[in-house]
């Protein structure tokens, strides 16, 4: 029996940096607030909670005073920084550099087109579309750069309710799939009769480049155990990619969700996960499988 943990799975650099910043502050103070789950993985959130990391909501942030708060890799809208300043909150900003760059691009595009409208150069601003998951933390941060005016599209059907005769600027949530983004681009091109259309591939390549390696890994094993938190959008995308090449791919959030009967007859088992999945959790599940198999033999 061969059990292998995928070397290419696990935290992306943005999540690694956020966790390192949290742990560094916890070493100093013993407690720290985090606005939202630091990563979409309940096991990692619990590990850090035990160390003193307290997750708070945006509503709780508004009532917090004179504290230190970590902003996770997903990023935040400008309103969050305003609340922090008003409440004398020290911010540890762990926004992923890729997300931060995208926020700036959208903010600058919005500001420039607003200036052009107010100066009379144009009468109508372009529609800013964001291909992403409605309500996702990163997407909320991106929409916030446009004073809430950007429109989120999750699939091609969402284009039915959009005035495609207007000029359009299209961006993407950094963790969406390249294929999905390209499909949206082609749909807009096919439907658009008038007006300009500019689109910007703003997908993180560290995430996107995992796909080909993940497909190879999934195809090289008899069965795949994919480890991902229920809240992870990236996890849902990557798991589906596993299933496309290996029908015996099973999704678990931790060891308690593992059904060993599903792995019967497999001579080779691969363990992989999302960009929000800690490597220690994948290693723990590999060890759990190994121990269960030894008991059965």
Q: Which residues are catalytic?
A: 138
How many H helices and E strands in the chain? 11, 12
- What is the token pair recorded at 86? 């008003």
Find all residues with CB under 8 Å of 251, minimum gap 6, and list them: 226, 228, 235, 239
CA distance 165 to 195: 5
CA distance 182 to 102: 18
Length of the chain, in residues: 297
What's 127's DSSP letter? E
- What is the token pair recorded at 81? 């920084």
CA distance 262 to 250: 8
Under DSSP, is residue 53 helix (H, G, I), strand (E, B) or coil?
A: strand
Among the listed residues 135, 102, 142, the one whose alpha carbon sits nearest the alpha carbon of residue 36? 135
């Amino acid at each position: 029996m061969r059990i292998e943990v995928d070397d290419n799975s696990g935290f992306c650099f943005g999540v690694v940096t956020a966790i390192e910043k949290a742990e560094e502050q916890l070493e100093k103070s013993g407690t720290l607030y985090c606005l939202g789950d630091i990563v979409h993985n309940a096991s990692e959130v619990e590990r850090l909670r035990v160390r003193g990391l307290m997750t708070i909501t945006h509503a709780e942030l508004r009532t917090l005073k004179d504290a230190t708060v970590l902003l996770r890799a997903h990023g935040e809208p400008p309103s969050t920084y305003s609340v922090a300043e008003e409440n004398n909150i020290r911010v540890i900003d762990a926004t992923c550099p890729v997300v931060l760059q995208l926020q700036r691009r959208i903010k600058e595009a919005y500001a420039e087109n607003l200036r052009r409208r107010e100066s009379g150069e144009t009468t109508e601003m372009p529609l800013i579309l964001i291909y992403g998951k409605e309500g996702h933390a990163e997407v909320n941060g991106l929409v916030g750069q446009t004073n809430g005016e950007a429109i989120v599209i999750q699939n091609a059907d969402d284009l039915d309710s959009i005035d495609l005769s207007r000029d359009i600027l299209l961006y993407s949530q950094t963790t969406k799939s390249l294929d999905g983004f390209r499909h949206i681009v082609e749909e807009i091109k096919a439907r658009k009769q008038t007006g300009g259309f500019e689109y910007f591939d703003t997908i993180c390549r560290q995430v996107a480049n995992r796909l080909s390696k993940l497909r190879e890994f999934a195809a090289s094993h008899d069965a795949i155990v994919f480890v991902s938190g229920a809240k992870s959008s990236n996890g849902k995308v990557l798991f589906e990619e596993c299933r496309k090449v290996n029908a015996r791919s099973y999704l678990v959030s931790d060891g308690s969700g593992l059904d060993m009967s599903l792995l019967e007859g497999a001579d080779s088992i691969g363990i992989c996960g999302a960009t929000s999945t800690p490597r220690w959790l994948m290693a723990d599940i590999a060890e759990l499988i190994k121990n269960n198999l030894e008991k059965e033999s």
